[in-house]
C-alpha cells in the first residue's frame, strides 16, 4: 500500500507513512539524535569543570597556538584550517548525494572519493594536533594544589626550555627537576613565573613560591598530568576530540565501503542511491559535532 500522510481509516493497521521517509533514513536520524545527546553530555561535563575552576582553567589560545612548519605563535589558525577541511568535505558529500539523486554514477564516485580524501586529511591534522599536545610546548610546574604555574619573562609567557637553555624540539627526551628550575631562576633574574590564575610574580617571590609549593616539572601531557593546567583539561581534550575523531574514522571506513558498492554498480542496479544519502547524514553530523567542539574547546 503506497499511502502518504492519509490513513483512510486504517491508521492502526500499518501502511500509513506519517514521516514519508524510508526505514533506514528514519533509523539513521534516531541514531543521530542519541549521538547528539551523548556529545552534549560530554561538552556539558567540560563546561561543569570549567565553571568549577574558572580562575585556573587554561586559556585555549595559550595551548593551541602552533601551525605545522611555521615558527612563532599562531593561535586558532590550525584548528580553523581543520574546520575548513571538514566543511569542505561536507560540501563534497552533499554533491555526491545530489548526483546520486540524478543517478550519475561517475560523479558520485568522484565526489565520494573527495569526501574520503577530506576525512583522511582531517584525521591526519588531528594526529598532528594530538602529537603536539602530548609532546608539549612550554612546559609547566605542578603544585600541591593541582595548580600548574608557567615560566614567564616579565609579563610575558616564556618556557621551561628557555629558562634551562634547552631545545624542546631537538628530538631528545628532556627531564628537569624542581631544584634545577629553582637554581636556574636564581641564576637568571630576568625570568619569573605566572601563577595558574594569570598573576605574575617577581623573581624572588617566584623562587619562594616554588620552594614552598612545587612538586614536579611537567613537560607534555598525559591523562594524569599536563603542563597546560588542570589535569581535567587534558582528559577532556583526549576524550572529546578522541571520540569525535573516532566518529570521523568510522565515517571514512563506511564511506569507503559505500564507494566500493557504488563502483560495483550495486545502487545502479537497486535503482536508487539512498545508501549514499544515509551515510551523508552521518557525515554531516560529524561535521556538526565538530562545529560545537571548535566553539567550546577552542574559541570560548
Partner 1 sequence: MANETKGNWWIWRVFWILLGITAFEVGLGIVKPEFLMEQFLGTKIINHVFIILTLIKAAYIVMEFMHLGAETKSLRWTILLPAIILIPYLLFIILTEGGYAYMMM
* CA–CA distance, 106 with 100 (Å, rounded to integer): 10
Closer Cβ to partner 1, 60 or 220, answer by number: 60
Q: How many C-beta atoms lie closer than 10 Å to residue 251's C-beta?
A: 24
Closer Cβ to partner 1, 47 or 68, answer by number: 47
What is the nearest approach in angstroms of partner 1 to the Cβ of residue 4?
Answer: 9
Nearest CA among 115, 103, 139, 128 for reference residue 219: 139
Closer Cβ to partner 1, 210 or 247, answer by number: 247
Closer Cβ to partner 1, 45 or 166, answer by number: 45
What is the nearest approach in angstroms of partner 1 to the Cβ of residue 176?
Answer: 30
| DSSP line for 49-112 | HHHHSTTTSPPHHHHS---TT--S--TTHHHHHHHHHHHHHHHHHHHHHHHHHTT-HHHHHHHH
* CA–CA distance, 41 with 149 (Å, rounded to integer): 30
* CA–CA distance, 82 with 130 (Å, rounded to integer): 13
Closer Cβ to partner 1, 102 or 198, answer by number: 102
What is the nearest approach in angstroms of partner 1 to the Cβ of residue 79?
Answer: 9
What is the nearest approach in angstroms of partner 1 to the Cβ of residue 167?
Answer: 28
What is the nearest approach in angstroms of partner 1 to the Cβ of residue 166?
Answer: 30
Q: Which residues bind partner 1 (CB under 8 A)?
A: 5, 18-21, 26, 29, 32-33, 36-37, 40-41, 44-45, 47-54, 61, 75-77, 80, 83-84, 87-88, 90-91, 93-95, 98, 101-102, 280-281, 284-285, 287-288, 291-292, 294-295, 298-300
Closer Cβ to partner 1, 42 or 161, answer by number: 42
What is the nearest approach in angstroms of partner 1 to the Cβ of residue 228?
Answer: 18
Q: What angle do CA 273, 276, 281 make, to 5 degrees?
A: 130
Half-sphere exposure of 113 (CA within 13 A, CB side): 9
Nearest CA among 76, 138, 115 for reference residue 282: 115
Amino acid at each position: 500500500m503506497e499511502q502518504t500522510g492519509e490513513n483512510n481509516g486504517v491508521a492502526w493497521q500499518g501502511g500509513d507513512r506519517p514521516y514519508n521517509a524510508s526505514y533506514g533514513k528514519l533509523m539513521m536520524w534516531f541514531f543521530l539524535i542519541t549521538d547528539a545527546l551523548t556529545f552534549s553530555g560530554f561538552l556539558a561535563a567540560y563546561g561543569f569543570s570549567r565553571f568549577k575552576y574558572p580562575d585556573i582553567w587554561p586559556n585555549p589560545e595559550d595551548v593551541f597556538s602552533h601551525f605545522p612548519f611555521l615558527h612563532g605563535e599562531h593561535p586558532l589558525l590550525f584548528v580553523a584550517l581543520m574546520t575548513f577541511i571538514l566543511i569542505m568535505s561536507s560540501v563534497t558529500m552533499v554533491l555526491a548525494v545530489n548526483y546520486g539523486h540524478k543517478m550519475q554514477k561517475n560523479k558520485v564516485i568522484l565526489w565520494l572519493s573527495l569526501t574520503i580524501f577530506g576525512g583522511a586529511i582531517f584525521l591526519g591534522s588531528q594526529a598532528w594536533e594530538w602529537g603536539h599536545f602530548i609532546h608539549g610546548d612550554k612546559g609547566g610546574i605542578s603544585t600541591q594544589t593541582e595548580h600548574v604555574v608557567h615560566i614567564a619573562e616579565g609579563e610575558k609567557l616564556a618556557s621551561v626550555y628557555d629558562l634551562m637553555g634547552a631545545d624542546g624540539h631537538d628530538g631528545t627526551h628532556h627531564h628537569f627537576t624542581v631544584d634545577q628550575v629553582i637554581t636556574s631562576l636564581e641564576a637568571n633574574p630576568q625570568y619569573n613565573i605566572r601563577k595558574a590564575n594569570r598573576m605574575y610574580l617577581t623573581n624572588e617571590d617566584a623562587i619562594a613560591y616554588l620552594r614552598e609549593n612545587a612538586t614536579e616539572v611537567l613537560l607534555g601531557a598525559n591523562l594524569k598530568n599536563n603542563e597546560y593546567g588542570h589535569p581535567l583539561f587534558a582528559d577532556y581534550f583526549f576524550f572529546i576530540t578522541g571520540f569525535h575523531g573516532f566518529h570521523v574514522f568510522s565515517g571514512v571506513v563506511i564511506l569507503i565501503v559505500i564507494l566500493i558498492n557504488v563502483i560495483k554498480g550495486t545502487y545502479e542496479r537497486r535503482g536508487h542511491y539512498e545508501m549514499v544519502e544515509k551515510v551523508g547524514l552521518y557525515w554531516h553530523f560529524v561535521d556538526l559535532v565538530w562545529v560545537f567542539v571548535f566553539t567550546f574547546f577552542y574559541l570560548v
